[in-house]
Homo-oligomer: A and B are copies of this chain.
């Protein structure tokens, strides 16, 4: 497929460094051409041993570096909008980690800029679409076997939340994955949201509303409920059960090595999303590299990033008000018609 794709990676923190490693050692057809991070020492560490990579303090400088054909944005969310617009200005395809932009107004500006450009450049980093089990469930729902989906029951559990994690972040950081997954699996928009509060766990930090039980209504009349529990203590567990008119399907049960000792048969529950979704990240970036080298954009786009933001914002309002809250979404530009679902 010709030359390697030269990627500028913006951000060399936890996620950025992981993507640098992935582009360098796992993914086929790309190379890390430039890295930008205000902490250039961190950027140098993350690129140690990689040939032909330049390190920059400024995103703009990395985009302008020689050999750069595409951009992977892994900087903090607030920096995304400027970076996306800069990439658009240079006509560079982008893989942007979620959130596209933390607030929906900013996300909408990105959508509008892409629409003015007249062509899609952005893939948003919703990696669950690349997970084998989710893909299998999507394929099943797209087929005729189970009939119309009526409900999705989702579970999203983490062992514990990082410092500074707020009640709103359970929705706009954690549940945003379910928001995208539900839109994609169902091919429907989420139109309203209610957030219920079971009593918070004694193991959650003081003041954190955890767990939450979030119920979405969809444009096709389905319900999507999500238990989000980020201090569940026992593991990272992401499950999804679709209930349809002629049957159901569920994914995300424990993995299949069963260990039997001392009166129990145990299946290990992964402790971390990097374990659970390791393959999904690899497949996501490989798919982006492959499509980009062919001049295509195939994954979830800027519109999907915007939609997730709008729904999450309604969710946060619903958490605060305790009331059912409508989702008001801007009209979808034609550019996104027929986009990859």
Residues of A within 8 A of B (CB): 1-2, 24-29, 49, 51, 133, 136-137, 140, 145-148, 150-151, 153, 194, 196-199, 201-203, 211, 213, 215, 217, 220-223, 225, 227, 229, 232-235, 237, 243, 245-269, 271, 279, 286, 290
Contacts and interface: CB of A to CB of B under 8 A. Distances in A.
A247 B222 contact: no
A227 B257 contact: no
A223 B198 contact: yes
Nearest to A271: B263
Specify which of A29, A150, A202 lies most central, judged by the most chain B CB atoms within 10 Å of its CB. Answer: A150
A221 B246 contact: no
A250 B28 CA distance: 33
Nearest to A231: B245
Please name the 4 residue pairs, one residue from A and one from B, whose CB atoms are nearest each other, closest first: A199-B221, A247-B261, A264-B266, A254-B265
B225 A213 contact: yes
B260 A249 contact: yes
Given A153-B227, A199-B222, A233 B262 contact: yes
B243 A229 contact: yes
Specify which of A133, A198, A250, A268 lies most central, judged by the most chain B CB atoms within 10 Å of its CB. Answer: A198
A246 to B, nearest CB: 6
A220 B199 contact: yes
Give this chain's copy count: 4
B150 A153 contact: no
A246 B258 contact: no
Given A199-B220, A213-B225, A279-B279, 17 more contacts: A2-B51, A136-B257, A148-B201, A151-B227, A197-B223, A225-B225, A229-B243, A233-B245, A234-B246, A234-B248, A234-B263, A235-B263, A247-B262, A249-B258, A263-B268, A263-B269, A264-B269
A320 to B, nearest CB: 16
Contacts of A215: 196, 213, 215
Contacts of A279: 279
Specify which of A133, A145, A265 lies most central, judged by the most chain B CB atoms within 10 Å of its CB. Answer: A265
Given A150-B211, A151-B198, A199-B221, A253 B250 contact: no
Nearest to A212: B223
A2 B25 CA distance: 11
A203 B248 contact: no
B28 A257 contact: no
A147 B225 CA distance: 24
Specify which of A145, A194, A257 lies most central, judged by the most chain B CB atoms within 10 Å of its CB. Answer: A257
